[in-house]
Amino acid sequence: MESVESSLVVFVGIDVAKATLDAWIDSTEQAGRFANDPQGIGRLIGWLRPLNVKLIVMEATGRYERRVACELLDAGLPVAVVNPRQVRDFARAMGKLAKTDRLDARVLAEFARRMGPPVMARPAEKQLLLEQRITRRRQLLVMRTMESNHLEAGADRLTATQVRKHVRLLDQQIEELDREIAQMIERDEDWRGKDRIVQSVTGVGPVTSATLLAQLPELGRCNRQQIAALAGLAPLNRDSGTFRGRRSIWGGRAVVRTALYMAALSARRHNPVLRAFADRLAAAGKAPKVILTACMRKLLVLLNALLKTSQLWDPQFALPSS
């Protein structure tokens, strides 16, 4: 790996895997492979620091990119973490169908130069920790569901006994996480105030509130279109010529949508504003799935407006513009 002129503006793509980081510098077509551990990340930073780096782009993998992104930001290097689907569509549009770690890094570098995604803000340590707690709770719920399904399948007595013990252990761990999450929110003044506002809305409980605080920190700082798009709840047109296709949603943060889905089910029954809204849609002949999705979006927009104006929920509250 040779040195690069520090005056040359470069864009960097990093393909992130569990064990490795494949980096590509677009202007000089230089490649480097580093271990995805503290030592490897340190060597990557040392390789990039002397350069005039305009932007580094990597895909969101769910967790493997977090440490390297934070370390690069702490080193003063600009980083953007992008949706993998955007990069795949970009590669197909460029006619680049082959796929290797090095080729992926090269495509990411080209995506950085041509598309210029915004530089991410360095998430606070407390934000990352809360997100990890929420993620772990979700994993435990999945394991508990899987174990419970074994009982429904008619397990023998020994298997059933073991499954019940495991389910009890998982329940204890979930309860422990719930206490820890509640304490984290209670200890933080900003989170405590936001949690109080969010949970003041009928239908929204502590799990949904904590999920939104962890996974959607932009809530209360965006307008209604932006916050809906971040959650993947903005309806997208499918029109061409005289054809008018059905609007649909996709992309965004699936974890946030799952939390809002459960909250919307409750709000549909118990929140007077959401119930009236859903009834109007039903009277207009909308499908149940469309109604629930619309309720999710309206609930999210409502929460965004309440946090933006620092107001508690009131059934008589007129939804402000956001």
Which contacts of 187-194 are long-range, i.e. CB under 8 A and separated by 24 or more positions?
188/126, 191/130, 193/310, 194/219, 194/220, 194/307
- The label of the residue with tokens 């932006």 reads 226
Nearest C-alpha neighbor of 264 from the set 233, 297, 217, 235: 297
Q: What share of the chain is helix, strand, coil (3-state, %, to 5)?
A: 60, 10, 30
Per-block mean pLDDT, blocks of 10 residues, the chain (322 long): 62 92 90 93 94 91 81 92 86 81 90 89 86 93 92 81 94 96 95 96 95 92 88 61 46 84 94 93 93 94 94 71 44
**Locate tokens 């949970």: which residue?**
199
Does a structural domain hold residue 192? Answer: no
Same domain, 289 and 253: yes
Q: Which residues pair with 53 in a beta bridge?
A: 10
Write down the pLDDT at residue 229: 86
Mark whether 44 and 77 lie in a shared domain: yes
CA pair distance 147, 276, nearest whole angstrom: 39
Q: For residues 171 and 286, what is the distance between their CA atoms, to the nearest angstrom? A: 39
Looking at the structure, tell me whether residues 223 and 314 fall in a common domain.
Answer: yes
**212 lies in some domain:** yes
Tell whether 91 is covered by a domain: yes
- Nearest alpha carbon to residue 21 among 2, 44, 54: 44
Are residue 167 and residue 224 in the same domain, yes or no?
no
Strands 20-25 and 9-16: antiparallel
- The string over 280-303, giving b where at least 16 C-beta atoms fall within 10 Å of a residue's C-beta and e elsewhere, is ebeeeeeeeebbbbbbbbbbbbbb
SS3 22: strand
Name all contacts of 167-174 with Cβ < 8 Å and 24+ positions apart.
Answer: 170/140, 170/143, 170/144, 171/144, 173/140, 174/137, 174/140, 174/141, 174/144
N-term to C-term CA, the chain: 50
243 exposure class (CB count in 10 Å sphere: 0-12, 13-18, 19+): exposed
Please state, in angstroms and rounded to a whole number, the distance separating the CA atoms of residues 182 and 186.
6
User: In this structure, what token pair is assigned to residue 266?
Assistant: 């409750």
Asked whether residue 195 is assigned to any structural domain, the reply reads no
Length of the chain: 322
Q: Are residues 27 and 80 located together in one domain of the fold?
A: yes
Domain count within the chain: 3
Q: Which of residues 115, 141, 167 is at a domain's end? A: 115
Domain of 28: which CATH number? 3.30.420.40
Helix 101-115 crosses helix 84-93 at what angle (to 10 degrees)? Answer: 90
Residue 66's pLDDT is: 83
| Closest listed residue to residue 177, CA positions, set 209, 145, 139, 205 | 139
> Where in the sequence is the domain holding 208, given as residue range(s)?
201-238+249-322
Residue where a domain stops, chosen among 68, 93, 115: 115
Closest by CA position to 136, among listed 175, 85, 190, 81? 175
Query: Exposed e or buried b for every residue in 84-122, given b needs 16+ CB within 10 A?
Result: eeebeebbeeeeeeeeebebbbbbbbbbbbeeebebeee
